[in-house]
Amino acid sequence: MKTAILIISDPKAGEEALARVFNGLAVAAEGKQAGDEVEVSFIGTGTRWPAELSKVTSPVNGLYNAVRDLVVGASCACAAVFGATESVKACGIEEKKDNALSGTPGLLSLRRYQTEGWQILIF
């Protein structure tokens, strides 16, 4: 099974956003344990999450660290729009820009997941 987990929730949005990222990372951990092919990416306001998840005080820090090897990147244009470029870089997350959308520095390609037969889950 191939599962692409896209984190789009905004950490500034409170408990519901925390529940979304928690559940997204939990699905990633379950897939990893089962030997599935899993990728986690941050898009939209979700590009703000790596900085929060990296804090040892985050209630999801342990889970994030357990699946950190599954994190493939953050959308470059989304990080730029939502002010997360520096924090994404500081966390060592690769900026993805394989969708060369005019007028942007490039976005993470969601189409790639579709054409390669991935199941896409959005949190």
Q: How confident is the model at residue 9 (pLDDT cuts 50, 70, 90)?
A: very high
Q: Does residue 39 contact residue 74 with C-beta atoms inside 8 Å?
A: no
Instruction: Please state the φ and ψ torsions of residue 45, each to the nearest 5 degrees.
Output: -70, -15
Q: Does residue 25 contact residue 3 with C-beta atoms inside 8 Å?
A: no
- Single pTM value for the model: 0.95
The tokens describing 11, both together, are: 């950490």
The tokens describing 65, both together, are: 């660290």
pLDDT tens for each residue of 92-110: 999 999 999 888 889 999 9
Domain ranges of the chain: 2-122
CATH architecture of 2-122: 3-Layer(aba) Sandwich (3.40)
93 to each of 15, 33, 35, 44, 117, how far by Cα in Å?
Answer: 24, 22, 23, 15, 24
Q: Does residue 46 contact residue 35 with C-beta atoms inside 8 Å?
A: no
Nearest to 25 by CA among 84, 85, 66: 66
Give just the sign of the alpha carbon dihedral 110, 23, 48, 15: positive
**What pLDDT sits at residue 104?**
83
- pLDDT over threshold 90, residue 64: yes
